[in-house]
Amino acid sequence: MSSYTRLLALAVACGVLVASSPGLARPSAAQRTWTLEELFQRNVGTKEQQYRVATPHKIIDNIWYVGTESLASFLVTTPAGHILINSSYEGNVPTILASVEKLGFKTSDVKIILGSHAHGDHMEGDAAAKQATGAQVMAMAEDVPALERMRPGGKPHPIDRILHDGETVTLGGTTLVAHLTPGHTKGCTTWTMKATENGRTFDVVIIGSVGVNPGFVLVGNKDNPQIADEYLRAFKVLRSLPCDVPLASHPAMYHMADKLKRLGQSLNPFIDPAGYKAELDLVERVFNETLDAQRKGAAK
């Protein structure tokens, strides 16, 4: 647990902070009952939102947002070059790289490309991004088979380094840790790193995904009989991670649009440990409801 998280927990216990404070989950959001379909749509947005560029912005320290309105891409900058997380659809690669340049960085300085999980909306553009930057593409071992089948325009999917659970990726003094959080895909990857602001160190978590998409089979899945257990493992891992700054593969998962409106306040709105817990509570509840419903259906 970081020093900030301990201080926040103490403040809440003493009644110093209330639910309306920046960085704390809003009661109205916590009380809403989401269905699986509503939660899925909240995350993926419309087709237009998937391709419409969002305003690139600084999140904290050396972490920047360069994605679209509903598909998150992050740039981690270092003195030795930069790391891009999530190339998105191949068609989004030019706008992602344009956002990098708009922030004042060179796309030629992107040295490493990482991803959240082997779905096209997050990693289809790896080949195009590698071609444009010359960066190395790295991916979790369990997602390699799915990535190798991802060949937009017939281009082979590049994988320069295969990662395993707990391995690190280091560049220019910044280290990211790859955590296997399976279920959504076999190799769904949650990234963690440290960030500093105003002399404090914060734990950053970039959630791969623990969402259940419509049509996912959790009971009697012939292609992946262990899928429900994988999701349970993912939730256990995510809840074990210290988190001050929650980020994710979809900006709606950490309420980016709302937080952007509150930039400039004394407390960085992206510092939101309570929001991390609230999101996990929400998604795990929907997962459990879906699993129970499918178990009941299979028992008939």
Interval 184-218: pLDDT, tens: 999 999 999 999 999 999 999 999 999 999 999 99
Residue 31, pLDDT score: 61
This prediction's pTM: 0.90
Q: Do 81 and 172 meet the contact criterion of CB atoms below 8 Å apart?
A: yes
| pLDDT tens-place string over residues 87-130 | 999 999 999 999 999 999 999 999 999 999 999 999 999 999 99
Q: Which residues pair with 176 in a beta bridge?
A: 169
The CA distance from 73 to 79, in Å, is 20
DSSP sequence for 175-219: EEEEEE--SSSTT-EEEEEEEEETTEEEEEEEE------TT---S
Q: Which of 10-14, 110-114, 144-148 has the lowest mean pLDDT?
A: 10-14
**At the topology level of CATH, where does 3-299 sit?**
Metallo-beta-lactamase; Chain A (3.60.15)
Query: Would you say residue 247 has pLDDT above 50?
Result: yes
